[in-house]
């Protein structure tokens, strides 16, 4: 599985989507950094067709959904890598800076395959994720 962070790595390589920017409404980089500092050590969450907040701190929220059904695992190592990569690619003036729709500020978004939570070794399940400020 992709990623370099310590902890559980259940997912493959992710796409990243840059959207239009309004940094003043986006998550603070410091909040996102604290959020990932809070999830060190092996942790894992199960994601299904219901969008859910996986982890949050202050203005920074990491959300995931399995849009095509099924269940998948996402590990803390995956979240840490995605947040760090989002900061590296999109941070501007202390904010992680891209904006999306659905009445929320999307600071970064992407799609990746993650390990099937229902059957070990089965085909990976597509996960869509967002890093938001709401």
DSSP alpha helices (H): ranges in the chain?
29-37, 76-90
The per-residue pLDDT for 15 is 86
Average pLDDT of the chain? 83
pLDDT (0 to 100) of residue 1: 52
What are the tens digits of pLDDT across the range 15-72?
Answer: 888 654 566 678 889 999 999 999 998 899 999 999 899 999 999 999 999 999 999 9
Output b/e per residue, 14-26; b: 16+ Cβ within 10 A. bebeebeeebeeb
Euclidean distance between CA atoms 104 and 132, whole angstroms? 7
Check: CB of residue 23 under 8 Å from CB of residue 92. yes
**Measured between alpha carbons, how far apart are the two ends of the chain, in Å?**
29
Reduced to 3 states (helix: H, G, I; strand: E, B; else coil), residue 74 is strand
pTM score: 0.86
| DSSP secondary structure code for residue 97 in this structure | -
Q: How far apart are CA 38 and CA 48, in angstroms?
A: 23
Confidence of residue 118 (pLDDT cuts 50, 70, 90): confident
Res. 120: pLDDT tops 90: no
| pLDDT at residue 8, rounded to an integer | 87
Average confidence (pLDDT) over 89-98: 76
For residue 134, is pLDDT > 90? no
Residue 109 and residue 128 in contact, taking contact as beta carbons nearer than 8 Å: yes
């Amino acid at each position: 599985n992709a990623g370099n962070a310590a902890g559980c790595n259940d997912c493959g390589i992710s796409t990243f989507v840059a959207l239009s920017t309004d940094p003043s409404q986006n998550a603070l980089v410091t909040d996102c950094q604290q959020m990932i500092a809070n999830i060190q050590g092996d942790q894992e969450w199960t994601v299904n067709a219901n969008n859910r907040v996986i982890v949050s701190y202050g203005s920074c929220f990491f959300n995931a959904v399995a849009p095509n059904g099924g269940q998948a695992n996402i590990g803390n190592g995956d979240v840490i890598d995605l947040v760090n990569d989002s900061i590296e690619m999109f941070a501007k003036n202390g904010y992680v800076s891209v904006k999306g729709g659905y009445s929320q500020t999307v600071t970064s978004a992407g799609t990746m395959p993650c390990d099937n939570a229902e059957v070990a070794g089965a085909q990976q399940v597509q996960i869509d994720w967002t890093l938001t400020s709401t």
